[in-house]
Chain A
Amino acid sequence: GAGVSQSPSNKVTEKGKDVELRCDPISGHTALYWYRQSLGQGLEFLIYFQGNSAPDKSGLPSDRFSAERTGGSVSTLTIQRTQQEDSAVYLCASSTRQGGYNEQFFGPGTRLTVL
């Protein structure tokens, strides 16, 4: 079956512009996660959606970052007024349910470069 997809695969933008990154989770997965991975670093948690519950935004680094999930499926991560330090690979993952025992399925990521 189809896995997690993300678009675009690469995005180059100028400092100060807004960008939108899209994630299509696996159909039926209720949990969706966004992570950020800077060059040579591990994954940094950004935000977590579970069903219709309020999202956990505790990992968002600043108020320039926001995310929404429409209809419990597709999610969009928006970065306003991009800065060079926002350059990273943004990864999305989905899973069937919350909790520590669920497997997360990751998308290929969007590589964001802010010039």
Chain B
Amino acid sequence: GQQLNQSPQSMFIQEGEDVSMNCTSSSIFNTWLWYKQEPGEGPVLLIALYKAGELTSNGRLTAQFGITRKDSFLNISASIPSDVGIYFCAGRAELYNNNDMRFGAGTRLTVKP
């Protein structure tokens, strides 16, 4: 299956700082999703991207579908303590195939007040 690399593995930042993380794939993807998982809970969908070049925001979060279709980025602006959690990217190569989704290993974000 497709390889999906997510970086960085972890980040320790100060409250108020901006955060950036990314995912790259070994092949072209048609869908990119970003999830957040808080301790003791399941991943929650943050942003879904379906078109190369697409830039979508959800509050302080902004995600982009890379032009090459092999990468995606998630930015968090002005981080706050409740941003703490693990952020996962997910992507798929086959449009309309729910089951083709692959997940990154996650970026663990720690925000110091």
Genuine A/B complex: no
Measured CB to CB, the residues of B under 8 A from A are none
Which residues from chain A sit less than 8 Å from chain B, CB to CB?
A: none
